[in-house]
Structure 1
Amino acid sequence: MTPDMLLTFLVLAGAVALFVSERMPPEVVAMLVLAALLTLRLVTTEEALSGFSSPATVTVAAMFVLSAGLQQSGSLNRLGEAIARIRWGWLLALVMMLLTAAVSAFINNTAAVAVFLPLIIAAAVANNLPPSKFLIPLSYAAQFGGVCTLIGTSTNLLVDSMARQAGHAGFTIFEFSQLGILFVVIGTVYLMVARRFLLPDLGVPQQADSGHAGRYVTELLVTEKSSAIGRRGSELLPGNDGDVVLLEIFRQRATVPSPRAAEVEAGDRLLLRGNWNDIEAARRMLKLRHHQVAGDLEGDDEDGRVHAEVMVAPGSHLIGHTLASLRFAHMYHARVQGLHRHRLSIRQPLDHVPLAVGDVLLLDAPQSALELMRADPGLVVLGQREQTRTSLRRSLLALGILTAVVAVAAAGLMSIVAAAIIGCCLLLLLRVLEPEEAYASIDWRVVLLLAGVLPLGIALQKSGAAAMLADFSIDMVGGFGPVATLAVIYILTSLLTEIMSNNASAAVVVPIAIATAESLGLDSKPFLVAVAFAASTSFATPISYQTNTMVYAAAGYRFRDFVKVGLPLNLIFIVMAIVLIPRHFPFSA
């Protein structure tokens, strides 16, 4: 083992450890990897910066803008509203999955889920159906729809770019389609069965203002007339049959030690966790009121105010910031009354909690504030379901431009990146999008992640580390033939994707897949397809893919629900990949 190989393995191990631990955002880890590769001189400056100029990175950024054109113009809303009129549960689920898969083949799947999510919830509730029977299928359909085309996911574009950098043939825009459609069909059939027998029935919200899913953390103020005054924390909810727990007591900007033993005083703020209806019952019983983050909202006209649930979307500008630092109440003219997060390890005042993807904020807000939030790509309004309608002209232009981009690239008249850039320019010139909307639509975290991990693939190939890992894999399973090797590549990518970013897992495995193909004297395409499909279809955990995280919070699922429904689907896709990939992409070079 050469020194460069050893250093590359150390950087790789450190990157995987940081990606898995989630102590830092993936894009920050990617930039640290880039800095380490430069510092250790494992790549040249030009190679280190090649990720920023890579066709994959530029195309992904452009596709975010093209997706925003459809989203902001209302094209997706019209599709969502059409399927939301279906009254039969099985037909609603079937049409929803097929339409979501078709849309996700051409636009960013998180954008599709963000638009369809509130519409599907509203349709389910209107027909007295539990939303929990629909939202996991919505997320999964967005994922397996994305593998049908080269532009369906950023992972497909990343795999294509890394293959071309290594001197191998890339993929055409519809080269995945035949195989991808088979995955869509089998995945849809499985989910139609699973939604009946495996998906939980979490009930139907009875009212828009009281059907809040999951458990919230809320901050309540002890008034002068509160019956909580003088009681110990452990005595606040004697014989409580509900699901309410006292987490902390805040007094004069400080946390009271041992909250269960401390006596409550007027002016204290109580941090409670529990189901929202139980929290409201406890609030009324103890004569508490919601702590107001922004005092100037006290005098607002209460007419027309509603309760609404708003989710922090993937790529949101709110991620990592607190309500206080954002001045959220002033910005949106809304009061935050509760925060729903599955990992409820919250021990600080609500306005000091850094927001994360999938957080659901329970708001008291006027209708005008909800319209402002619907226009913000960083938020998904779940509670009040009415969608903003826009002009037919903008919708048709957005759809026409995307169709033209795909057609020109598919015909070979222009590269995908060139067609996508021209399409973005047309959206701006025709005023389908404003420049500010286009810039805000790009998830710069994904762009930085791609730019940072691409040089890691270069280092793995240059140093010989990828070849060494390939030789190790061949020694282990090479004797069983190329199909067994393909299975190992697929399973390895699938496992890594469950615990770290899908793009990061692809960046790690692609150089190994290419080196393995070269060592066996085989075409690299079947192995690259295995990486692309495995990294883009991650079902077994709610944190492995952004669309999973979105529906996880919205429906109030439990972690085990994803394991129960998603793990069998992962196994089905593994078997399908092993059988079908060699038939559509032969091993012979």
Structure 2
Amino acid sequence: MTTAAIITICVIILAVILFATEALPIDLVAISIMLILVLTGVITPQEGVEGFSNKATITVAFMFVLSAALLKTGALQVLAHRLSNIFRYNFNSGILMMMFMIAIISAFVNNTPVVAVFIPVVIQIAHTSGQSPSKMLIPLSFASIFGGMCTLIGTSTNILVSGIAEKEGEQAVEMFQMTPVAGILLVVGVIYMSILGIKLLPKSRRSKNLREKFEVNNYITLVELLSNSTSIGKKIMESELVTEFKMDIIEVRRNGSQFTLPPGDFELNEGDILKVRCDVEKLKSLKGKTKTLSVSPVKIGDNDLSGKNSALVEMVITSSSEIHGKTLKELDFRRRFRAIPLAVKHREDIKHDDLYDIKLKAGDVILAEVKSHYVDELSKLESGQNTPFVLLSENHITDFDKKKFSIVISLIGIMVLLASTGFLDIMVGAICAVVVLVFARILTMKEIYEAINWKIIFLLVGALSLGLAISKTGLDTLIAQTMLGQLQPIGIIAVISGLYLVTSLLTEVMSNNASAALMTPIAIAIAHNSGVEVLPFLVTVMIAASATFMTPIGYQTNTMVYSAGNYKFRDFFKVGFLLNMVFWIISSFTIPWYFDLI
């Protein structure tokens, strides 16, 4: 084994550890992989940056823009709210309809914004129909995964696999070549979730009462500034309440007037009654040190904290959010979003202390009080492609623009038709569609730049570098020969099954794009060493890298619904393990049968 091969193996091990532990942002890990491979001489500098100009990378970038254009028309939001009528008559029919609808949309539109649009609507539907959101949010996420597998443009993973194959001299995967196999899995997946999966999900963990959910009862208090208080005459940002006791002053009540979320330069007066967020133990020490009298705890209920000037909202951080990996202090959260954080739900833990210093991750939920008039502004932020968060406690419907929708859906349809017939390359088609949207004034150039999920783009660049290193060092052939030596005597079904299983397990602990980049060169080498066509093995990697259901970290939509549905880690494993097994078994037999390998 060469030195370059050993270095590549070490990089792969390091990448798996970093992706699994989330110790660093995935885009930073990906670019670091590329840099290490270049600096150690495994690949050249030119080969390292080739990922930026790769057809797969460019296609994914422009598909993000098309998804943003469709989202901007308001069509998905209107469709989501109309879905609620079906649930009023029959919950089971509603689940079936929802999953098929989400799957069809996700086959042609990036599934992350689709799930972001539907999360708050599904929660509202659950409450109005007397069901638990936990029975509906995992099916929502899984349905988006089912649909994404069905076409080349349904997920960036499929585009990446096709791009790597083309780079290695193979035929690019066509638009619907994986559809028959993925379509069977889609139907099986929906039936499984509707009959068995939904029974394995928890009945009810989410409470409508935000006091119970976030346990903030003891953290919101009214305090009065007495005549000898050291904070009188000082600006809020200079007061000991903020500088020493790390309080958030949510409201100031003075002579019958209320000042909601006062700015930092607001001056405090004697007799002011402040509504604050603070730790109970700090409040106890506060009385003696600052001569400030605690008046009473504030009730937190369905209308809690929300006076006529403020609203209580839950903000779920999305996978593409700029908030991911940052603290509220770094974001200047209060000033930027006109909001006071009251609690943060991270996975299964609820944090109340030192909120501004907590490093936030995708799937975390921030409970915040926001000025009422600013909620609409937050909703506008939410309606974008790279939405920083999803508002669970507010319902916002974007106005449906039929004319713009007709143009966008027509362009996507024409692009799919031309690409599927081979008349136009999918990358060229995506670029053409975006240019037309700009000339039609449906999108601006600024909106195009903002629509692209640069985290995924950088991830693809690093993943492509890793795939190139595996191929260049001969590791693909070595691993392929090892796998074939063990599985080929059993038959082609065993070979496909082994490739699927390895890819699927890798995807559960690292990014689906990273696992696809890792396994695609190996899949191509297996096909060459077996003397059969490459396409069945590429389809195997595509499906296995997307069909990840056992953990909330394997796929970005799973992460988004994790905290929103108040799930526990074991909920995903309970319902996802059997589904993974079913997909594995069906794929192991269906792929060789459909592609005439047996």
TM-score, normalisation: structure 2? 0.84
3-state SS of 2:532 partner: coil
3-state SS of 2:369 partner: strand
What is the rounded CA distance, in whole Å, between the counterparts of 1:502 and 1:44 in structure 2?
25
- The answer for the alignment partner of 2:531 in structure 1 is 521
- The answer for the alignment partner of 1:44 in structure 2 is 44
Amino-acid identity (%): 34
The equivalent position to 1:287 in structure 2, one of 296, 311, 323, is: 296
Offset of residue 95 of structure 1: 0.6
User: Does the 8 Å CA contact 1:216/1:341 hold for their aligned counterparts?
Assistant: no
Amino acid at match of 1:565: V
What is the rounded CA distance, in whole Å, between the counterparts of 1:260 and 1:214 in structure 2?
18
3-state SS of 2:219 partner: strand
- The answer for the alignment partner of 2:284 in structure 1 is 264
What is the rounded CA distance, in whole Å, between the counterparts of 1:286 and 1:546 in structure 2?
45
Deviations 1:122-152 (A, max 9, x none): 1221122211111110000000110110000
User: Does 1:319 find its partner at 2:324?
Assistant: yes
The equivalent position to 1:460 in structure 2, one of 470, 474, 484, is: 470
3-state SS of 1:264 partner: helix
Offset of residue 82 of structure 1: 1.8
- The answer for the alignment partner of 1:220 in structure 2 is 219
3-state SS of 2:171 partner: coil
- The answer for the alignment partner of 2:510 in structure 1 is 500
User: Does the 8 Å CA contact 2:16/2:509 hold for their aligned counterparts?
Assistant: no
User: Does the 8 Å CA contact 1:466/1:512 hold for their aligned counterparts?
Assistant: yes
User: Does 1:427 find its partner at 2:437?
Assistant: yes
Matched length:
536
User: Does the 8 Å CA contact 2:348/2:563 hold for their aligned counterparts?
Assistant: no
Residue range with higher mean Cα deviation, 512-521 or 345-354:
345-354
- The answer for the alignment partner of 2:237 in structure 1 is none
**C-alpha spacing 1:261/1:203, structure 2 compared with 1 (3 Å):** closer
- The answer for the alignment partner of 1:303 in structure 2 is 308
3-state SS of 1:17 partner: helix
What is the rounded CA distance, in whole Å, between the counterparts of 2:5 and 2:188 in structure 1?
42
Q: How does 1:159-174 map to 2 (within 5 A)?
A: 159-174=161-176
3-state SS of 2:349 partner: coil
The equivalent position to 2:403 in structure 1, one of 381, 389, 393, is: 393
What is the rounded CA distance, in whole Å, between the counterparts of 1:184 and 1:344 in structure 2?
33
User: Does the 8 Å CA contact 2:100/2:143 hold for their aligned counterparts?
Assistant: yes
Q: How does 1:443-482 map to 2 (within 5 A)?
A: 443-482=453-492
User: Does 1:335 find its partner at 2:340?
Assistant: yes
- The answer for the alignment partner of 1:535 in structure 2 is 545
3-state SS of 1:265 partner: helix
What is the rounded CA distance, in whole Å, between the counterparts of 1:510 and 1:68 in structure 2?
29
User: Does 1:509 find its partner at 2:519?
Assistant: yes
- The answer for the alignment partner of 1:53 in structure 2 is 53
User: Does the 8 Å CA contact 2:78/2:397 hold for their aligned counterparts?
Assistant: no
- The answer for the alignment partner of 2:96 in structure 1 is 94
Offset of residue 220 of structure 1: 3.1
Amino acid at match of 2:39: T
**C-alpha spacing 1:305/1:68, structure 2 compared with 1 (3 Å):** same
Deviations 1:63-104 (A, max 9, x none): 111111111210111211221221121111111000000000
Offset of residue 30 of structure 1: 1.0
The equivalent position to 2:156 in structure 1, one of 154, 157, 164, is: 154
Q: How does 1:549-588 map to 2 (within 5 A)?
A: 549-587=559-597
What is the rounded CA distance, in whole Å, between the counterparts of 1:135 and 1:221 in structure 2?
30
3-state SS of 1:308 partner: strand
Deviations 1:489-521 (A, max 9, x none): 100011011111001111111111111111121
User: Does the 8 Å CA contact 2:315/2:389 hold for their aligned counterparts?
Assistant: yes
3-state SS of 1:375 partner: helix
What is the rounded CA distance, in whole Å, between the counterparts of 1:263 and 1:318 in structure 2?
30
User: Does the 8 Å CA contact 1:31/1:448 hold for their aligned counterparts?
Assistant: yes
User: Does the 8 Å CA contact 1:150/1:173 hold for their aligned counterparts?
Assistant: yes
- The answer for the alignment partner of 1:231 in structure 2 is none
Offset of residue 586 of structure 1: 3.2
Offset of residue 312 of structure 1: 1.1
Moved beyond 4 Å, runs of 4+: 203-206, 211-219, 221-226, 259-263, 345-348
Offset of residue 214 of structure 1: 4.8
Q: Please provide the CA RMSD for this pair.
A: 2.8
What is the rounded CA distance, in whole Å, between the counterparts of 1:213 and 1:348 in structure 2?
17
Offset of residue 363 of structure 1: 2.2
**C-alpha spacing 1:493/1:216, structure 2 compared with 1 (3 Å):** farther
Q: How does 1:2-21 map to 2 (within 5 A)?
A: 2-21=2-21
Residue range with higher mean Cα deviation, 139-148 or 365-374:
365-374
TM-score, normalisation: structure 1? 0.85
**C-alpha spacing 1:186/1:23, structure 2 compared with 1 (3 Å):** same
Deviations 1:546-589 (A, max 9, x none): 1111111111011111111111100000011001011222349x
What is the rounded CA distance, in whole Å, between the counterparts of 1:216 and 1:107 in structure 2?
38
3-state SS of 1:47 partner: helix
User: Does the 8 Å CA contact 2:318/2:389 hold for their aligned counterparts?
Assistant: yes
What is the rounded CA distance, in whole Å, between the counterparts of 2:350 and 2:339 in structure 1?
24
Offset of residue 427 of structure 1: 2.0
User: Does the 8 Å CA contact 1:315/1:443 hold for their aligned counterparts?
Assistant: yes
**C-alpha spacing 1:123/1:8, structure 2 compared with 1 (3 Å):** same
- The answer for the alignment partner of 1:107 in structure 2 is 109
Amino acid at match of 2:71: Q
User: Does the 8 Å CA contact 1:373/1:380 hold for their aligned counterparts?
Assistant: no
User: Does 1:353 find its partner at 2:373?
Assistant: no
**C-alpha spacing 1:345/1:130, structure 2 compared with 1 (3 Å):** closer
3-state SS of 1:311 partner: strand
Q: How does 1:194-233 map to 2 (within 5 A)?
A: 194-202=196-204, 205-206=207-208, 210-211=209-210, 214-215=213-214, 220=219
User: Does the 8 Å CA contact 2:308/2:372 hold for their aligned counterparts?
Assistant: no
Offset of residue 435 of structure 1: 2.7
What is the rounded CA distance, in whole Å, between the counterparts of 1:268 and 1:407 in structure 2?
74
Unaligned runs of 5+ in 2: 226-240, 248-278, 300-304, 382-386
- The answer for the alignment partner of 1:238 in structure 2 is none
Offset of residue 432 of structure 1: 1.8
User: Does 1:63 find its partner at 2:83?
Assistant: no
The equivalent position to 2:244 in structure 1, one of 249, 252, 267, is: 252
Unaligned runs of 5+ in 1: 227-248, 270-284, 291-299
User: Does the 8 Å CA contact 1:117/1:135 hold for their aligned counterparts?
Assistant: yes
What is the rounded CA distance, in whole Å, between the counterparts of 2:25 and 2:185 in structure 1?
31
What is the rounded CA distance, in whole Å, between the counterparts of 1:355 and 1:204 in structure 2?
21
What is the rounded CA distance, in whole Å, between the counterparts of 1:305 and 1:351 in structure 2?
21
User: Does the 8 Å CA contact 1:69/1:398 hold for their aligned counterparts?
Assistant: yes
What is the rounded CA distance, in whole Å, between the counterparts of 1:514 and 1:212 in structure 2?
54
3-state SS of 1:85 partner: helix
Offset of residue 38 of structure 1: 0.7
What is the rounded CA distance, in whole Å, between the counterparts of 1:343 and 1:565 in structure 2?
18
**C-alpha spacing 1:145/1:356, structure 2 compared with 1 (3 Å):** same
What is the rounded CA distance, in whole Å, between the counterparts of 1:34 and 1:311 in structure 2?
31
Residue range with higher mean Cα deviation, 183-192 or 216-225:
216-225
**C-alpha spacing 1:330/1:347, structure 2 compared with 1 (3 Å):** closer
User: Does the 8 Å CA contact 2:245/2:282 hold for their aligned counterparts?
Assistant: no
**C-alpha spacing 1:410/1:31, structure 2 compared with 1 (3 Å):** same
